[in-house]
Amino acid sequence: MRPTTASLLKSLLAGLALSALPAHAETVEVGIEKMQFVPQRVKVKSGDTVKWVNREKRTSHSVLFEQEGLPESERFFPGESWQRIFDKPGIYPYICGPHPEMTGVVEVAE
């Protein structure tokens, strides 16, 4: 079947709408295993999401950006995750609430 003018116009408009969007944001995963954030330091781009995944057998953890004065994430258990979107470039150090010896850094580029 030949495409109609309307359907051609529709796909053209869809293409334009897509190209007007900002670059595709990504989700970067940080694992939590053996009482460590892995990798300990991640580099992402502005607009990206960082997702922490608890890969322990029993231990629950949290993510706490103490220096920003943000509330601690919920404790998440093995198999659970927590995520945050980073909109602004900068260096974001964090710890685990119940285990402050666990530290990590999110580096957000432009």
- Residue 99 makes contact with Cu ion by CB under 5 A: yes
Tokens describing residue 77 = 């258990």
Shortest Å, Cβ 81 to Cu ion: 14
> In this structure, what DSSP letter does residue 64 have?
B
In this complex, which beta carbon is closest to Cu ion, that of residue 34 or of residue 43?
34
Scanning residues 74 to 93, which ones bind Cu ion (CB under 5 A)? none
In this complex, which beta carbon is closest to Cu ion, that of residue 44 or of residue 96?
96
What order of strands is seen across the sheet that includes strand 103-109? 41-45, 103-109, 90-95
φ/ψ (deg, to 5) at 85? -90, 135
**x/- contact string, 42-61, with Cu ion (CB under 5 A)?**
-------------------x
Per CB under 5 A, the list member of 96, 104, 106, 108 interacting with Cu ion is: 96
First vs last C-alpha separation in the chain? 46
Tokens describing residue 10 = 């529709």
Chain contacts with Cu ion (rule: CB under 5 A): 61, 96, 99, 102
